[in-house]
Structure 1
Amino acid sequence: MTDTTRLRLDVSYDGGDFSGWAAQPTRRTVAGVLTEALGTLAGTDVPLGLTVAGRTDAGVHATGQVCHIELPTEVWERLRDSLLRRLAALMPPDARVRAVTPVPSTFDARFSATFRRYEYRVADTVSGPEPLRRHDTLGWVRPLDLGRLNEAAAGLVGLHDFAAFCKRKEHATTVRAITRLEWRREPDGVAVATVQADAFCQAMVRSLVGAMLTVGDGRRDPGWPAKLLTLRERSSEVTVAPAHGLTLVAVGYPDETEYARRADATRRLRA
C-alpha cells in the first residue's frame, strides 16, 4: 500500500463564473479547476480523494473554504516547498489556494467541521452597490430596518427543522442548529448578515436571507420567518436571495485530538 499524506487546503474563490463547487463533466466548477491543477503537479493518475467542508452553489463565493486531499508521501515530499507557488501559477485568477497544511489522517474537511459561517451583503442605498463590490453585494431597492432584521433573525436561532427553507434531499435531514444569526451595518452602509450553523442544507442560507429581507423592508412581520419553522416542506412564500451576495467566510474545527470523534458524531447525526 502506498504511504500517503493528508493535506488541508484553504481555498478562496469568486463564484460568479463557476457552476458551484462540485465537479461536473460539462461545466466549470471550483473542484474541477482545483483537481486539474493538482493533477498537473501530482499526476492525473493519483487519486486525490478531494473532500470539501461545504459544497457551495453556483455563483456563491468563498474566502474561507476548506478541503482535504491525499497525496502519496513521496509526491508531497517532492512538492512540499513549491506546491503553493505552483498552484498559484496553474489556478485561474478567480480561485486561489491560500494555504496547504499537513494534517492527521483523522482530519475530515467535511465531517470534522464544527461550524460553517457565511456572510450575505446587501446594499439598500439609493445609489446601489459600489461598482467594485457589485459581484459580492446584492442591490436592494427598499430601505432595510436593521432592528426588524435582527428581530426576525433572533427567532431562527437554535436547533430547528428548517424544511421550509431547504431544498429537501431524499434520506437527508433538514434539522440544523443555527448558533449565530445577526445583521450589522458596515461603515459604507452595507447591511451584512452573518449566519453560522453546524451545517446547512441546500439553499438554506439564501432562503433565510430572502425571508428576512421582506421583514427588513416592512412587507412581513418580524415573527413571520420563525412561524415557517412549523412547516415540514419547502415554503413557496420564501424567495431565495440571489447567489452573488453570499460568501462562505469560515469553517471551524476542534483540536486535532478531537478530529475523529467529531467526524464519527457528525456521520451518525447525518445518518
Structure 2
Amino acid sequence: MRLRIDLAYDGTDFHGWARQNGQRTVQGEIEAAIARVLRLDPSDVLLTVAGRTDAGVHASGQVCHIDVDDDVLERAIGHMSGVSASEALHRRISRLVPSDISIFSIEKAPEGFDARFSASDRVYVYRVADGVTKRDPRLSRMVLRADDVLDVNAMNRAVKATIGLHDFGSFALPNPGGTTIREVKFAAWQRVPHVQLTPENVYTGGAEHNSTQAVGAAPDGGHAYEIDFAESGLLTFTIIADAFARNMVRSLVGASIAVGRGKKSVDWFIDKVNDPEREGLTGPAPACGLTLERVNYPSDELLAERAEAIRAVRTLR
C-alpha cells in the first residue's frame, strides 16, 4: 500500500530533509519513528518527498509517501480498536517524532500518486522583517531581519521577469543529470496588512451564530481587542512553480533584496534571468526566512500522467 503523509516542521535545527549519516534530518527522524512502530530495520523504510528542503528551511505543507506491505502496516494497530492501520500509524508516530515535526495525516494514496513527480506545483513563501516592520521575536526562527527599508515596487518589477519558462542557471544549481529550467507561475512581493482582532471580527461559532459577533462586553471601548496578528507588517515573497532547482528561491530572494536596497538595478536582475550563468555576485538569502507552504496535485485521474510527464528532462521549447 502507498501511504500519503502530510506534515510540517521547523527546519532550524535540522540538516535539511534528506537522510545523512551523523546528521539530524527530517527524513531520518520520521523514518526512524516508522521503523520503530512497524518493527522494521530503518534501512527498509524509505520516504519519497515532494520537495527536499535545505538545512534551516521550514515546511508548513510538506508531502511525502511510503510504500508498505499490508501485513506490515497492520502491526501499527496493536491494541487499538476501531481505527484503520494508517490512522494507527499516524497516532503512534506522532507521539514519537520530536516537537519540531508535526504529522498532520497519513492516508492511503490514490492510484498513480507520487509525492514528488505527481505534484503540479509548489508554493514557497520567504518572510522578511525590514526597517519599517515591528519585529516580533517569536518569529525570529522563520523571518529574516533586514534593517533597510526595502523598495517593494522595484523588487516586484524585478521578479516579474521570472514568470514563465526560464533557465534559472544564474540563480540555481542543477541536480546530477538535471537542468535548471523551471516554469514559474506566480512571483510577487507584498507587505502583510495590519489585520487586527477586534470586537467586530470575533466569531462566536455555532450554527446559530452564522455571523461575527463580540462575546461579552469590550473593556476600554473595545481597544483591548485591537491586537495585530503576528505576521502583520512583514514583507513576503510568494513564488509558485512546477518545481524548484537547488537554492533557486533563496537566490531569487537574495537578488531581490539587493534590488530593494538600491545596491542593484532592476535591469541587472532581469539580465540575470535572461543570461543563465551563475556569476556569484549574489548568494542565496539565509534559510531561516523560507517556508514550503503548500504542494498542489492534479485530480486523481491525472496523477499518473503528471508523474510520467515530469520525469522527462525539460527544455526551453
Into which bin does the TM-score normalised by the smaller protein fall?
A: over 0.9
For residues 175 and 245 of structure 1, the distance between their equivalents in structure 2, rounded to whole angstroms, comes to 24
Aligned to 2:245: 201
| 1:83-107 superposed Cα distances (whole Å, 9 cap, x missing partner) | 2221221000001111111113411
1:123 aligns with 2:129: yes
For residues 39 and 214 of structure 1, the distance between their equivalents in structure 2, rounded to whole angstroms, comes to 46
Match for 1:239 among 274, 283, 286?
A: 283
Provide closer, same or farther for how the CA distance between residues 8 and 81 of structure 1 changes in structure 2, counting only shifts above 3 A. Answer: closer
1:249 aligns with 2:293: yes
For residues 22 and 59 of structure 1, the distance between their equivalents in structure 2, rounded to whole angstroms, comes to 12
165-174 or 155-164: which moved more? 165-174
Kindly state the Cα deviation for residue 82 of structure 1 after the two structures are TM-superposed.
Answer: 2.1
Match for 1:172 among 151, 169, 178?
A: 178
User: Secondary structure of 2:106's partner?
Assistant: strand
User: Secondary structure of 2:170's partner?
Assistant: helix
Match for 1:26 among 18, 22, 27?
A: 22
For residues 262 and 114 of structure 2, the distance between their equivalents in structure 1, rounded to whole angstroms, comes to 43
For residues 100 and 246 of structure 2, the distance between their equivalents in structure 1, rounded to whole angstroms, comes to 23
Kindly state the Cα deviation for residue 248 of structure 1 after the two structures are TM-superposed.
Answer: 0.1
Kindly state the Cα deviation for residue 127 of structure 1 after the two structures are TM-superposed.
Answer: 6.9
The residue type equivalent to 1:6 in the other structure is R
User: Secondary structure of 1:268's partner?
Assistant: coil
| 1:179-235 superposed Cα distances (whole Å, 9 cap, x missing partner) | 010111112211000011010110000000000111112222123212112334312
User: Secondary structure of 1:165's partner?
Assistant: coil
The residue type equivalent to 1:263 in the other structure is A
Q: Is the 8 A contact 1:129 1:138 kept in 2?
A: no
For residues 157 and 9 of structure 2, the distance between their equivalents in structure 1, rounded to whole angstroms, comes to 32
The residue type equivalent to 2:66 in the other structure is I
For residues 270 and 25 of structure 1, the distance between their equivalents in structure 2, rounded to whole angstroms, comes to 32
236-245 or 119-128: which moved more? 119-128
Kindly state the Cα deviation for residue 128 of structure 1 after the two structures are TM-superposed.
Answer: 6.2
Aligned to 2:31: 35
Q: Is the 8 A contact 1:125 1:189 kept in 2?
A: no
Aligned to 2:264: 220
1:98 aligns with 2:95: no
For residues 208 and 86 of structure 1, the distance between their equivalents in structure 2, rounded to whole angstroms, comes to 39
Provide closer, same or farther for how the CA distance between residues 74 and 59 of structure 1 changes in structure 2, counting only shifts above 3 A. Answer: same
| 1:229-257 superposed Cα distances (whole Å, 9 cap, x missing partner) | 23343121122100000000001101111
| 1:37-64 superposed Cα distances (whole Å, 9 cap, x missing partner) | 0001112238333100010000000001
205-214 or 127-136: which moved more? 127-136
User: Secondary structure of 1:101's partner?
Assistant: strand
Provide closer, same or farther for how the CA distance between residues 82 and 31 of structure 1 changes in structure 2, counting only shifts above 3 A. Answer: same
RMSD value, Cα = 1.7
Count matched residues. Answer: 267
Structure (1 or 2) with the larger CA radius of gyration? 2
Q: Is the 8 A contact 1:128 1:139 kept in 2?
A: no
Match for 1:163 among 158, 169, 180?
A: 169
Match for 1:211 among 255, 268, 284?
A: 255
| 1:97-155 superposed Cα distances (whole Å, 9 cap, x missing partner) | 11111113411000001101100000003676311000000000110122111111111
Aligned to 1:151: 157
The residue type equivalent to 1:153 in the other structure is V
For residues 24 and 244 of structure 2, the distance between their equivalents in structure 1, rounded to whole angstroms, comes to 23
The residue type equivalent to 1:85 in the other structure is R
User: Secondary structure of 2:304's partner?
Assistant: helix
For residues 293 and 262 of structure 2, the distance between their equivalents in structure 1, rounded to whole angstroms, comes to 29
For residues 156 and 262 of structure 1, the distance between their equivalents in structure 2, rounded to whole angstroms, comes to 23
1:12 aligns with 2:8: yes
The residue type equivalent to 1:144 in the other structure is L
User: Secondary structure of 2:311's partner?
Assistant: helix
For residues 172 and 142 of structure 1, the distance between their equivalents in structure 2, rounded to whole angstroms, comes to 37
Aligned counterparts, 1:175-190, within 5 A: 175-186=181-192, 187=194, 188-190=232-234
Q: Is the 8 A contact 2:17 2:26 kept in 1?
A: yes
Match for 1:65 among 62, 67, 81?
A: 62
Kindly state the Cα deviation for residue 270 of structure 1 after the two structures are TM-superposed.
Answer: 5.3
Paired-residue identity, %: 43
Provide closer, same or farther for how the CA distance between residues 52 and 81 of structure 1 changes in structure 2, counting only shifts above 3 A. Answer: closer
Provide closer, same or farther for how the CA distance between residues 87 and 115 of structure 1 changes in structure 2, counting only shifts above 3 A. Answer: same
